[in-house]
């Protein structure tokens, strides 16, 4: 079986420092940002929940018991970590207003808003997430914090999938390989996790290879570009003199593959690089093709917005920023600090 190493290179060359990450749930605060207004009427009851010590599926199960609605009918935009204080939305079809659950205990949640809406909340439909992260056992000067903030704000950072995508010790990758080999049976939810882990791993490997070759943030002939804040992609035209400037301004981003069936849109040296990664991990790449997933593209870079890095007394640092849907806070943090879980 292939070596599914999760070790990945950093890109910005910053002076990284040791820190303690997520010493307690309050050190990682995440707020889901819908990016659209709710109508106030309709079949679906949308419930905003603030949770502590529970993952998203724990809340789904509790809401299902409270509303007597099937778990699979409850909508949510994305999975939030258990070891965090997280605020996110859920939609419940046909539900009446819910009574408030008890709060204040470890592994609890409270309902902060209930609003009716005409549609179900779908995966990935939110604009993004806001983060307030406290790092401990770290002393950072104002000058260093300013240098980190300037680099991240102007250059962005690698849009790696975070380690939580791969399960403990990368176990989801081994299960994906066993699934593709016909050695493992999986329920629908589990199968989805294993397929997602395989795709994420191949993407990360392509991004890592481009970082090591020092062209992860440069337009190559054969690249496919993504528009900032949009799902639209387009092939880079050879000799287009405007592309480097648009890339530097953050208007566009180089993309990497979300592997699957169909013809890739990249060409030339980019196609050779991506095909080489797929050949090295062919049990994953071919398994994704057989599973029927279509080729897609994902930006290699993410630009943190509203970024603020603040030394907070002795041995503590507070980092605030927002990321679009699908991007990982750990990918921002690992450019600055060395800590378990990044």
Q: Is there a single domain that holds both residue 227 and residue 285?
A: yes
Count of structural domains, the chain:
2
Q: Is there a single domain that holds both residue 120 and residue 169?
A: no
In a domain, 307, yes or no: no
Q: Is there a single domain that holds both residue 121 and residue 168?
A: no
* Partners of 31 in beta bridges: 87, 130
Which element (helix H / strand E) includes 177? Answer: helix 171-180
Query: Are the CB atoms for 75 and 50 separated by under 8 Å?
Result: no
- C-beta atoms surrounding 312 within 10 Å: 13
Residue 224, both tokens = 């496919």
* Partners of 180 in beta bridges: none
Query: Are the CB atoms for 119 and 317 separated by under 8 Å?
Result: no
Where b means 16+ CB within 10 Å and e means fewer, 6-44 reads eebebbbebebbebbbbeebebbbbbbbbeeebeeebeb
* Partners of 192 in beta bridges: none
In a domain, 133, yes or no: no
Q: Is there a single domain that holds both residue 183 and residue 117?
A: no
Q: Which residue range(s) make up the domain with 208?
A: 157-302
In a domain, 186, yes or no: yes
Residue ending a domain, choose from 77, 110, 125: 125
Distance CA 287, CA 93 (A): 35
In a domain, 150, yes or no: no
Active site residues: 81
Residue 65, both tokens = 């018991």
Say what the pLDDT of residue 1 is. 43
Residue 233, both tokens = 């992609």
In a domain, 202, yes or no: yes
Say what the pLDDT of residue 124 is. 86
Q: Is there a single domain that holds both residue 121 and residue 161?
A: no
In a domain, 131, yes or no: no
Q: Is there a single domain that holds both residue 94 and residue 175?
A: no
> Which parts of the chain register pLDDT below 50?
1, 104
Q: What is the pLDDT of residues 50-73, one digit of tens each?
A: 999 898 999 999 999 999 999 999
Residue ending a domain, choose from 77, 105, 125: 125
Q: Is there a single domain that holds both residue 177 and residue 289?
A: yes
Query: Are the CB atoms for 151 and 12 separated by under 8 Å?
Result: yes
Residue ending a domain, choose from 125, 149, 180: 125
Greatest pairwise CA separation for the chain in angstroms: 62
Q: Is there a single domain that holds both residue 97 and residue 43?
A: yes
Q: Is there a single domain that holds both residue 97 and residue 204?
A: no
Nearest in space to 321 (alpha carbons), one of 304, 336, 338: 304
Nearest in space to 160 (alpha carbons), one of 122, 114, 201: 201
In a domain, 13, yes or no: no
Task: Please report, to the nearest 10 degrees, the dihedral formed by the alpha carbons of residues 320, 322, 328, 329 taken in order.
Answer: 0
In a domain, 141, yes or no: no
Q: Is there a single domain that holds both residue 120 and residue 208?
A: no
Q: Is there a single domain that holds both residue 115 and residue 195?
A: no
């Amino acid at each position: 079986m292939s070596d599914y190493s999760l070790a990945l290179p950093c890109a910005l060359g910053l002076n990284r420092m040791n820190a303690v990450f997520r010493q307690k749930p309050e050190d990682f605060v995440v707020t889901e940002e819908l990016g659209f207004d709710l109508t106030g009427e309709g079949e679906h009851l949308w419930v905003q929940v603030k949770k502590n010590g529970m993952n998203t599926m724990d809340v789904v199960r509790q809401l299902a018991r409270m509303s007597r609605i099937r778990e699979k009918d409850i909508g949510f935009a994305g999975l939030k970590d258990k070891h965090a204080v997280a605020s996110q939305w859920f939609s419940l079809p046909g539900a009446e207003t819910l009574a408030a659950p008890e709060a204040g205990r470890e592994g609890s949640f409270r309902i902060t808003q209930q609003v009716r809406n005409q549609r179900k909340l779908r995966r990935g439909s939110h604009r993004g997430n806001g983060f307030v992260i406290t790092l401990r056992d770290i002393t950072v000067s104002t000058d260093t914090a300013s240098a980190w903030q300037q680099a991240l704000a102007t250059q962005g950072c690698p849009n790696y999938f975070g380690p939580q995508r791969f399960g403990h010790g990368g176990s989801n990758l081994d299960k994906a390989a066993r699934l593709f080999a016909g050695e493992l049976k999986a329920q629908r939810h589990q199968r989805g996790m294993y397929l997602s882990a395989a795709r994420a791993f191949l993407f990360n490997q392509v991004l890592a290879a481009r970082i090591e070759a020092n062209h992860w943030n440069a337009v190559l002939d054969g690249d496919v570009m993504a528009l900032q804040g949009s799902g639209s992609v387009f092939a880079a035209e050879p000799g287009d003199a405007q592309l480097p400037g648009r890339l530097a301004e953050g208007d566009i981003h180089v993309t990497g593959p979300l592997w699957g069936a169909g013809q890739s849109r990249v060409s030339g040296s980019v196609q050779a690089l991506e095909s080489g990664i797929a050949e090295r991990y062919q049990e994953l790449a071919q398994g994704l093709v057989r599973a029927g997933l279509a080729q897609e593209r994902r930006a290699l870079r993410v630009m943190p917005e509203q970024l603020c890095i603040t030394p907070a007394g002795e041995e503590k640092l507070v980092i605030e920023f927002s990321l679009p849907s699908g991007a990982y806070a750990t990918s921002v943090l690992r450019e600055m600090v060395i800590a378990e879980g990044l």
